[in-house]
A and B are shown apart, each in its own frame.
Chain A
Amino acid sequence: MASPRVSAALEALAIPIGALAGAMVLFGLFMLVLGQSPIEVYSLIYQGGFSGAFSWQNTLSRAAPLILTALCVALPAQAGLMIIGSEGALVLGGLVAAVIGHLMTGVSPMGVKVAMALGGMLAGGLWIAAAGALRQYRGINETISSLLLTYIAIALFNHMVEGPLRDPASLNKPSTHPIGDANMLGNFPGLDVHWGLGFGIIFCVAMYVLVKHTTWGFGLRIVGGNARAARLAGLPVSQLVLTACFLGGAASGLAGMVEVAAVHGNANASLMAGYGYAGILVAFIARQNPIAIIPVAVLLGGISASGGMLQRRLDLPDATVLVLQGMAFLLVLASETLYGRIKLFKSREIPA
């Protein structure tokens, strides 16, 4: 039998993959009941998401914000918090970035981009840190408060975009003033994908190192394991929780900045494309592991990129991929029960 460490890693890999395969079988049966060929559906998902330069480009530019919004769930989760407010941090980050991009003049485009990124991260970070603070200091459940904060953020966003910050030139689709072509993010060298993907990967690697290989991260994981024990050990629990929330929110805010500076060129209602909600799913499939988020986000990005293809070729509603995602989510959560119960992954008991 392999060493405990290897078998634990194998278990953490095999169970989510098994759950995803189960979801695919279930979804295939559902398609069969509706009179569609599951093989055709899956081959279209493959074509739409993962074959050819164009679909890869589409997939990766969807994966970029997903990586960042998933971090907004995964980082607080290290401290035992279940935050689902990434969408709110994303729209606020995008709004702040758009305002900075429009107002900052007389600075080099590089300076503007840095300011936009920092502004977006600050806005998103403070928003999610607020949910953390409400939990630490007022005992309010962070799942509910973060979602309420998302609704409030969206209302604020709509108010600003359709009111004080509206560009009078945007007639049919209320938007903020454009940030200008010079301030747009370019493409990742060698790929036809914008820099957001690079930001996401760098953020994930940095957070992985921070969480798994620093004393700070060790303290954070102790808080997640048992907050009372952490407090008794003298760890600054609230400070750890708030920082984790801030970093998560900052990732989501950066996603908003990327969407503004690389895709839309201004802040408008298209920012609310559901990346925040899909990011929750990504984080759970990745079992809150910052590195595992990257491949999972690419997979889900590909599935959602193929939605249009399914709609055109098979005349299926655009919500088809949502059904597949929902089934995957429920099965992945149900598969939590299997950990430690499959013989194959059991390592020998260490003799006492």
Chain B
Amino acid sequence: MTDLGWWGVPLGVLGGALRVSTPFLFVSLGECITEKSGRINLGLEGILVMGAMTGYAVSFVTGNPWFGVLAAGIAGFFLGLLHGLICNLPKVNDIAVGIGLMLFGTGFAFFMGKPYVQPKAPNLPSISFGAWSDMPQVQAALQVSPLFLIGIALALFLAWGFRNTRWGLVVRMVGDSSDAARAMGYNVNVVRTLATAAGGFLAGIGGSFLSLYYPGSWSEGLSSGQGLMAVALVIFARWNPIHCFYAALLFGGAGSLGPALQSVGITSGYYLFNAAPYVLTLAIMIATCSPRRTLAGAPGELSIVR
């Protein structure tokens, strides 16, 4: 094993960005769909945890991690549907329901997931892009999950779809002006409910990544707020799926700063470095938000930017 010295830090951050960014990517793409339709779902954190538990349990029972990924998506779909249906009731606040769903999703996942804390479920395979290098550190950093590649494809597909397909236009119209959508004969509530359910599906898959790839096991402390950070990340990415991908990489890199520094012997500020993604999110929001103008690219019906 060659000693990389300080070079281990950027390499660790790069490897971490490739590894840790996937849940951010899926959750933020899901939230992007939901927010484009004019609603905000803060409950994606709960859906993420629920997806992680469901994915792990199904992978353990069936022996196939891909069934786990699918089941996690379906569990997320139903929780998203629940959020959408409750928010269809008049006078119900979507942000508050999101907080409720966050608590319900995590509580329900902890309850159902108790028997799966111990057993070892089959994990997703990884694809290696580091065979050209003979340094084990580089090889380790370039291990990529297939879900990461699917996420990139999905971001490209969504960016294309929002612009060029009928459903993309409908979702954007509902999010920008419900009056216009109603005048065109679309049912605003149906579109938003489906958009929230679709967002839940993606967030559930993001959760299955946590339990089936990295860290690769189910426990109650699995998520550290990725679902919530993704909501802030979508604002930072200006509701653009491609920008969501860059933002996810940035957040993944920030999240692996602590472990990367620890690997070169800097352990004193471990907890502080672990807070880097939260500080980064806050700093980005401080730098880009303003009380005097609405954000460029924001869906007009979104309660969070009004």
Question: What is the interface of chain A, defined by CB distance below 8 A to chain B?
Answer: 82, 84, 134, 136-141, 143-145, 147-149, 151-152, 155-156, 158-159, 162-163, 277, 280-281, 284, 317, 319-320, 322-323, 325-327, 329-330, 332-334, 336-337, 339
Q: Does B166 contact A (CB under 8 A)?
A: no
Q: How far is the CA of A155 from the CA of B90 in the complex (A)?
A: 39
Task: Please determine whether A139 and B107 come into contact, CB atoms closer than 8 angstroms.
Answer: no
Stretch in contact with the other chain, from B4-12, B96-104, B242-250:
B96-104
Q: Does B190 make an interface contact (CB < 8 A)?
A: no
A317 and B100 contact, CB distance less than 8 A = no
A137-B291, A319-B110 are contacts. A333–B93 as well, Cβ < 8 Å?
Answer: yes
* Of B60-68, B118-126, B132-140, B275-283, the one with at least 4 CB within 8 A of chain A: B275-283
**A148-B281, A334-B92, A336-B91 known; A329+B100 contact, CB < 8 A:** yes
CB atoms of B91 and A339 under 8 A apart: yes
- Segment from B16-24, B205-213, B224-232 that makes contact with A: B224-232
- Pairwise interchain contact B268-A163, C-beta atoms closer than 8 A: yes
Asked if B160 is an interface residue, CB under 8 A from chain A, the answer is no
Residues in B with CB closer than 8 Å to A339 are 91
From DSSP, what is the main secondary structure of chain B's interface residues?
A: helix
| Complex Cα–Cα for A330 and B285 (A) | 29
The answer, yes or no, to whether B266 is at the interface (CB within 8 Å) is no
Contacts of A332 in B (CB 8 A): 100
Determine if B73 is an interface residue (Cβ-Cβ < 8 Å).
Answer: no
Residues of B within 8 A of A151 (CB): 224-225, 275, 278
Complex-state Cα separation, A217 to B272, whole angstroms: 38
Q: Whose C-beta in chain A lies nearest to the C-beta of B98? A: A143
Contact A147 to B103, CB < 8 A, known contacts A136-B291, A137-B291, A333-B96 = no
In the complex, the answer to whether B225 meets A317 with C-beta atoms within 8 Å is no
| B residues with CB within 8 A of A | 42, 82, 86, 89-93, 95-97, 99-101, 103-108, 110-111, 114, 220, 224-225, 228-229, 231-232, 235, 268-272, 274-275, 278-279, 281-282, 285-286, 289-292, 304-305
Would you call the interface of chain A mostly helix, strand, loop, or mixed? Answer: helix
Q: How far is the CA of A158 from the CA of B97 in the complex (A)?
A: 30
Q: Nearest Cβ in chain A — how far from B250, in angstroms?
A: 15
Residues of B within 8 A of A337 (CB): 89-92
Partner of B282, one of A139, A145, A159: A145
The 25 listed contacts between A and B (C-beta, < 8 Å) are: A134-B285, A134-B286, A138-B286, A138-B290, A139-B289, A139-B292, A144-B42, A144-B232, A145-B285, A148-B229, A151-B225, A151-B275, A156-B271, A163-B271, A317-B111, A319-B107, A319-B110, A319-B220, A322-B103, A325-B107, A326-B103, A327-B104, A330-B97, A333-B100, A334-B89
CA distance A190 to B98 in the complex (A): 42
**How far does the Cβ of B71 sit from chain A's closest Cβ, in whole Å?**
19
- Select which of A140, A284, A333 is within 8 A of B285 by beta carbon: A140
